[in-house]
Amino acid sequence: MLLESIVIPKNLMTIVNESQTLAEALEILEVSDNRCVPVLDDANRIFRGNIYKMHIYRHQATGGSMTLPVTFLLKNATKFIFLDSSYFNILFTMRDLPYIAVLNKKKEFVGVLTHEKMLHVLHEFWAVDQSGYIITLQTNGQPTDLAAITKIITKYSFILNLITLNTIPNSTKQELLITLPKSILPSNKEKILNRLQKKGYTIIDLENLIES
């Protein structure tokens, strides 16, 4: 994964150093208008965690000392990824965070990956500009379903994208999101739908991206 191309590098970011106080961190957050920023060691190499404006305000409101080091309210110290992390790891690590810290092989902080950047990558992977239809169908819960479904479709068209979803708890049935290209002939699209239904697969939805 060429993660470096979508990482915001640390030299373009607002950061706080671990030796700074909560008062200094709050001033940096106010000036930069960020709700949280990374905290690094004083050499700007090692990621220590994140500091959130909300937590500092809450600490201040309850009479807490603002001369304490910023590490007193450090959060997300173990929430980071590496430049060669898998997509699965990235998605589930950054799920509840505004951004995720990115480290190199030496475990040095190189920057952050934001939700916006990751969504842009997913948009590119989906190949929206080439997409014509998205078929949402339910399988029969058999191990051979995926092979049977793709065999039917590829007789008439190539598959641009395919995503499997486990939407039914404790069931072997799955929902598939299958993207067909906009170049597909309408007659072939209809043949695919008819063949899938004849084989007992339930068409839940058909989204026309060409007309949307």
Does 12 share its domain with 116?
yes
Shared domain check, 161 and 71: no
- Average pLDDT in the 71-90 region? 91
- The CATH number covering residue 151 comes to 3.30.70.260
User: Same domain, yes or no, for 95 and 139?
Assistant: no
Select from 84, 106, 121 the last residue of a domain: 121
Domain count, the chain: 2
Where a domain ends, among 121, 139, 155? 121
pLDDT score at 98: 87
CA dihedral 23, 25, 30, 31 (to 10 degrees): 110
User: Which residue is listed with tokens 């078929």?
Assistant: 135
The CATH number of whichever domain residue 24 belongs to comes to: 3.10.580.10
> What is the span of the domain harbouring residue 34?
3-121
Residue 150 has pLDDT above 60, yes or no: yes
Q: Are residues 198 and 154 in the same domain?
A: yes
Q: Verify that 85 and 143 share a domain, yes or no.
A: no
Confidence of residue 2 (pLDDT cuts 50, 70, 90): low
Q: What end-to-end distance do the CA atoms of the chain give, in Å?
A: 31
pLDDT at 212: 64
- Calculate the average pLDDT of the chain: 91
Radius of gyration of the chain from its Cα atoms, rounded to whole angstroms: 24
